[in-house]
């Protein structure tokens, strides 16, 4: 697979934001891999011919986006968020030994088709642009526990339509990178509560009208462009929310 060329900088953006996007683009092109250090602020300032303060603001933005992390006395390192396991913050499914279980992922449908208006708008797709549409179930011990509807820009994810399902596997984000060269850098999530519809009743084995938790996610690449819209539905009885307040 040929890597995409680096995007042209948007000269309307502040200098630090352009530098942030350039560093993010280099991470996407694997100039530095997850866990590796990026150059020091002084080195980046010299390479890009900008002030150290500009570099610091760019790195602050990358830290805020979760792409890199500062380690005191060691430097700044590439960080790869693990979004495929983030649902564990909200849905608690334990194995027989009491540990957190990893659900199996099973793709029920994959097709190319125009996305609905709200999804098209979220992904920044044109009116006639095709999208990859996936319907997926997450199972534990063979029992469906979560349903997922996923939309992706076809121009960037067409390889998913032809790849054997065994190559996609249980976790989608590693498959995005492996098959399409796309890396998810960050995501925004919105949680709401609704009632189980007919599809929930059939797919999740629950009573129609029972409470469900709905998680809408919009994921972005290192280039800050949206790459995935996802809607996850699960029984409210499995929902949990935990936060440490200090």
Its domain, for residue 35, covers 15-78
**2 part of a folded domain:** no
How many structural domains does the chain have? 2
What is the distance, to the nearest Å, from the Cα of residue 136 to the centroid of all Cα atoms in its chain? 16
CB environment 148-180: b (16+ within 10 A), e (fewer) = bbbbbbbebbbbbeeeeeeebeeebbebbeebb
Helices 41-48 & 15-28 angle (0-180, nearest 10):
110
- My answer on whether 61 and 165 are in the same domain is no
Task: Tell me the C-alpha distance between 131 and 114, whole Å.
Answer: 6
- My answer on whether 58 and 101 are in the same domain is no
- My answer on whether 30 and 132 are in the same domain is no
With CA atoms as reference, report the closest residue to 59 among 86, 27, 103. Answer: 27
Strand order in the sheet with 104-114: 104-114, 130-140, 143-153, 226-235, 211-221, 184-195
pLDDT at 210 over 90: yes
Longest pairwise C-alpha distance within the chain: 63
Sequence-separated (6 or more) residues with CB below 8 Å from residue 226: 122, 123, 124, 218, 219, 220
- Enter the tokens of residue 226: 């949206």
DSSP-derived letter for residue 49 is T
Q: What is the pLDDT of residues 160-198, one digit of tens each?
A: 999 999 999 888 988 998 899 888 888 898 999 999 999
Please give the residue that has the higher pLDDT: either 233 or 93: 233
**70 part of a folded domain:** yes
Indicate the pTM of the whole model. Answer: 0.76
Q: What is the pLDDT of residues 80-139, one digit of tens each?
A: 666 655 555 566 555 555 556 677 899 999 999 999 999 999 999 998 899 999 999 998
């Amino acid at each position: 697979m040929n890597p995409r060329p680096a995007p042209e900088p948007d000269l309307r953006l502040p200098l630090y934001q352009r530098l942030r996007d350039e560093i993010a683009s280099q991470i996407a092109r694997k100039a530095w891999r997850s866990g590796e250090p990026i150059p020091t602020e002084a080195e980046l300032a010299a390479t890009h011919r900008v002030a150290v303060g500009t570099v610091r603001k760019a790195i602050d933005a990358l830290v805020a986006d979760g792409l890199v992390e500062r380690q005191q006395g060691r430097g700044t390192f590439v960080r790869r968020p693990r979004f495929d396991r983030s649902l564990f913050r909200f849905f608690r499914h334990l194995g027989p030994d009491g540990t957190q279980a990893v659900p199996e992922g099973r793709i029920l449908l994959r097709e190319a088709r125009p996305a609905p208006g709200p999804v098209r708008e979220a992904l920044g797709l044109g009116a006639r642009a095709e999208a990859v549409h996936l319907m997926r179930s997450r199972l534990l011990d063979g029992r469906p526990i979560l349903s997922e509807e996923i939309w992706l820009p076809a121009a960037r994810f067409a390889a998913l339509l032809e790849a054997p399902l065994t190559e996609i596997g249980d976790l989608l984000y590693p498959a995005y990178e492996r098959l399409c060269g796309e890396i998810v850098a960050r995501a925004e999530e919105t949680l709401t509560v609704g009632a189980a519809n007919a599809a929930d009743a059939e797919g999740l084995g629950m009573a129609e009208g029972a409470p469900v938790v709905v998680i809408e996610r919009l994921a972005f690449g290192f280039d800050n462009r949206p790459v995935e819209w996802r809607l996850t539905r699960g029984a409210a009885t499995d929902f949990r929310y935990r936060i440490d307040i200090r």
